[in-house]
Amino acid sequence: MPNSPALIDRHGRTIRYLRVSVTDRCDLRCRYCMAEKMSFLPRSALLSLDEMALIAERFIERGVSKIRLTGGEPLVRRDAIDLVRRLGRHVGTGLDELTMTTNGTRLVEHAGALADAGVRRINVSLDSIDPDRFRHITRHGDLRQVLAGIRAATAAGIAVKINTVALKGLNEDELPAILAWTVAEGHDLTLIETMPLGAIDEDRADRFVPLTRVFDTLAQRFALVRNAHDSGGPARYWQVDGSSTRLGLISPLTGNFCQGCNRVRLTTEGMLYTCLGHDDSVDLKAAIRSGGLAAVDAALDEAIAAKPAAHDFNVEAGAAPAVSRHMSVTGG
């Protein structure tokens, strides 16, 4: 199809960043993200990887320059590497960057293939570097497996950024140690406030830590210098003086970043969400199966025109989740 106009919403924001949830399934059960007993989508409900690639390629044609593959855990889906290879062919010819967010459990197996496909940077979700605490947060995870995966990615030439959700009573006291570890290992670190997405087995108000407080604690130990780096996402960055490590803060509650939002999210079942904190969506699976890429284009125009100005997150005690779907459905 010929090139189509750029995706610009009614607030004047140009959409340059697509996050694709390859699967809603995950091999961990992190307490702030999922209930212990989850019901996942039947495989018959999912986009095929070919459909996923076709939709992503249409986004590239319409000006998206960065794609992040997420989950769930993207590498638990069979043949996910085939999707990485296909989209990787567009890096440098329309796509500036193809990245992935992963929990790291399968990186030992797949790091080389990711690098060969053109992935140069990944985010690894890691909420503790203490083996027992890591197992508690993830309910059964093995920290050694994840650390081995991080080493494998680094050896393959992939830059690793650590994503850590700040959690009161679980890892808040460990955040200075995690930053010190990333400095020693040469990784960047992004800290994230917990978000009210999907029902879990705890009240999120009991776990919420404002990153303003975390930053003040870290600044007492580390020399943090404001950094103008822009990864294309919502993080604000500081440089840890004397090191190569950047500290990013993603603060959807204490530092709303919606004004510059350039992102949309495609779920594994083909729903396109233009805001993480709203239920408004269009069905791209139905569009591509009924009318091909022309119908996808029409659905994209409809979705972008309706993109809300901002999310409406609330983590007060007893507050209902902002949306019923879990982060693993929309893409972490």
Any binding-site annotation on 263? yes
Which secondary structure element, helix H or strand E, spans residue 149, and what is its range? helix 143-155
State pTM to two decimals.
Answer: 0.88
Any binding-site annotation on 271? no
Any binding-site annotation on 265? yes
Any binding-site annotation on 68? yes
**What Cα–Cα distance (Å) separates residue 55 from each residue in 95, 185, 271?**
14, 37, 11
64/48 Cα distance (integer angstroms): 21
Any binding-site annotation on 261? yes
Any binding-site annotation on 133? no
Any binding-site annotation on 214? no
**Average predicted confidence (pLDDT) for the chain:** 89
Any binding-site annotation on 267? no
* pLDDT level of residue 280 (50, 70, 90 thresholds): confident
Any binding-site annotation on 21? no
Ordered by start, the domain boundaries in the chain are: 17-330
Any binding-site annotation on 289? no
CATH 3.40.50.300 corresponds to the domain 17-330: no
Cβ 233 vs Cβ 265: under 8 Å: no
Mean pLDDT of 221-230: 93
Burial of 265 (0-12, 13-18, 19+ CB in 10 A): buried
Burial of 242 (0-12, 13-18, 19+ CB in 10 A): exposed
pLDDT tens, residue by residue, 16-38: 999 999 999 999 999 888 878 88
Supply the pLDDT for residue 314.
44
Rg (CA), the chain: 19
Any binding-site annotation on 161? yes
Any binding-site annotation on 307? no
Any binding-site annotation on 101? yes
β-strands 121-125, 97-102 pairing: parallel
Answer yes or no: is pLDDT of 319 > 50: no
Any binding-site annotation on 76? no
